[in-house]
Structure 1
């Protein structure tokens, strides 16, 4: 996966030499979430139309105050990463973190609490997390976007749970262009030629501020503006037609458990972070209850409907996605195959809104603004 001129990660074929696979391009096409995404339907799970299959739903947070403060949403994945490696439950955890040039985001390997804290916090930028062959090792764990969780799940199809890496995911609104990060840093008064010592998209509080640090100063912008008006609008088209921003293929999926205003939309007032958590698999259930029993996490069970209620971006996207897909198809654009998602039924919740999204997608295709 390489950064494209538009600022997004794109697959590039580099070589077939030494590959054990007969046709790696065909295999890639069978697992790539840009082509196909399936919704798992385990028999023992409950099913929520917008959140997918789950065994349990929780509100949780890290008991480690540093992890909770530095993490973007309660420090749950940060604390789990440190705990997994410190207790020997995993040899390593793969995730995302800042590059040597903090404007860039890269895959990182977490092996202890120090490296877990160094990777704490969301990174609203393109990154390929599944770059190491060790992500397939059952002694590994992976923290990754829902689309990558889906790809890894399909790649490992047929393996028993104990033969798979542990998959941890998070609710994802979409991937902005790398150019948006660069532009935002410049907007805050740091030119491209000036070195950054750190770049934080959020965290250090909840939700935290977008903060760029140099040797002489820190400059920042509030989360509502940085995400809502600068980064989010540059999101790639594939993310706008994503059926699974909620990590259905993971063992555990974590999200912000926002307080909401009178309209049902999240408040972004600074507070101690809390996460919503959906247990997707029995392996994930054992992990969560062990972490609670050992005091790594604290929290309480909640209703899945409570998580859906404070994630209007995720629920709204599912309810309008059928219209977007139909509009794009009518406009002549191929769209991915989505299996097991109740998109047509969800579109009936508000037919007029679905039609409006279909028209919008059709116009976007005709104007040449789809496919970036």
Structure 2
């Protein structure tokens, strides 16, 4: 896997392999129509699960809460549960190492800020806390797992966990050594260009950025008020709220990976346990951060319940409706939005999905939103590339500001574009994207 000119990870290899004529590639690519889908994989791994839901998949139990002990919660982007569970697996001797995303030791060598790495103790593990909206790939860490006997846990977004499951089915060594998978709820993947754009807008050169915190936490601010902070090589820092950045509206789709247009898994349905942000009041206003957790493995359910009984974590049981409500926008994009996108004639790649193509009663406004998201994600990569080639960040910023104004005019009925959209029946006041 290598970064392409748009800062997205793309596979490289022989032409026959890339065109899908290689059976191994077809079996293990998570977007391949020949690979097993999430329902089939979940049926294999969680056949006896107590609950089944069309959006959440198979699971034993669901919770909302946070970590009480230590600094897990304050050091994480949300409630600290991902790092706590990984640390507990190490503490209990259930795994020898955890594969997760960490800051690159020398990001300027390949201009990559983050990469997958193996952690074997708590100190190494805590260095990988927090969310990273940056392209990474698994090949190096999977090779390390093949070479070093032991039991491992892998942390990843839904398509990564699905890829691990498919790889395990094809590789007996990986199947034996990967004992647990920890999934992260996902809206979509961003390209490396978003990090560069954030640096541009803060007046910095990405080559001089040593560290990027996508979600700088502050207890006096709601958890969903994202604030990005750059740490430069000279130790100086600069920060900006996402809402003050031209591409900081997540729902607009700036720098979205093109493959995300075909994903229908929001909550990592093939993972043993999955974590997301509790985007529902009163939790979304709590600046300390709160997790929603879906447990599919009985072994991990025992770990969670023991931690709760010992008051090391504070979790409350919730039903499927609560979990779905915390990720409502993601499910609309990945289910009704996907069904609509699959009707588009110019979509050359049509993977086998669990969603049927169709408009399913969508309003003109909803269709307009999905069309705009698609084209914003498509053109944001190209507009940035042109601005970068011309050494003119302002060119991209002007384009992004105009694109955002159009999107928010339809989505939130804002400004003159919103008034025009309302007159055409393309805008509304439902306040959801």
TM-score if structure 2 supplies the norm length? 0.71
* Distance in 2 separating the partners of 1:309 and 1:249: 20
Corresponding residue to 2:89 among 84, 90, 115:
84
* Distance in 2 separating the partners of 1:162 and 1:354: 49
| RCO higher in structure (CA 8 A, sep ≥6) | 1
The CA RMSD over aligned residues, in Å, is 3.6
- Find the residue that maps to 1:276 and give its secondary structure: strand
Residues 1:26 and 2:10 aligned together: no
Q: Which deviations, in whole Å up to 9, do the C-alpha atoms of 1:112-136 show, x marking residues without a partner?
A: 2211221110000100135323546
Structure 1, unpaired ranges of 5+: 16-22
Residues 1:176 and 2:194 aligned together: no
Counterpart in the other structure of 1:239: 260
Q: Measure how far apart 1:108 and its partner are.
A: 1.8
Counterpart in the other structure of 2:269: 248
Across the two proteins, how many residue pairs are aligned to each other?
A: 352
1:14–1:31 CA distance, 2 compared to 1 (3 A): same
Counterpart in the other structure of 2:237: 218
* Distance in 2 separating the partners of 1:224 and 1:292: 36
Q: Which deviations, in whole Å up to 9, do the C-alpha atoms of 1:210-239 show, x marking residues without a partner?
A: 110123421112244557337941101211
Q: Which deviations, in whole Å up to 9, do the C-alpha atoms of 1:3-52 show, x marking residues without a partner?
A: 1111011112289xxxxxxx994212212113244322435342222222
- Find the residue that maps to 2:164 and give its secondary structure: helix
- Find the residue that maps to 1:221 and give its secondary structure: strand
* Distance in 2 separating the partners of 1:369 and 1:292: 47
Structure 2, unpaired ranges of 5+: 383-433
Q: Which deviations, in whole Å up to 9, do the C-alpha atoms of 1:145-181 show, x marking residues without a partner?
A: 1101111112223989976420001101111110121
Residues 1:334 and 2:349 aligned together: yes
1:64–1:28 CA distance, 2 compared to 1 (3 A): farther
Counterpart in the other structure of 1:360: 371
Corresponding residue to 1:74 among 76, 79, 84:
79
- Find the residue that maps to 1:335 and give its secondary structure: coil
TM-score if structure 1 supplies the norm length? 0.81
Counterpart in the other structure of 1:310: 326
Structure 1 contact 62–297 (Cα < 8 Å) conserved = yes
Q: How does 1:121-136 map to 2 (within 5 A)?
A: 121-132=130-141, 133-135=143-145
* Distance in 1 separating the partners of 2:341 and 2:207: 41
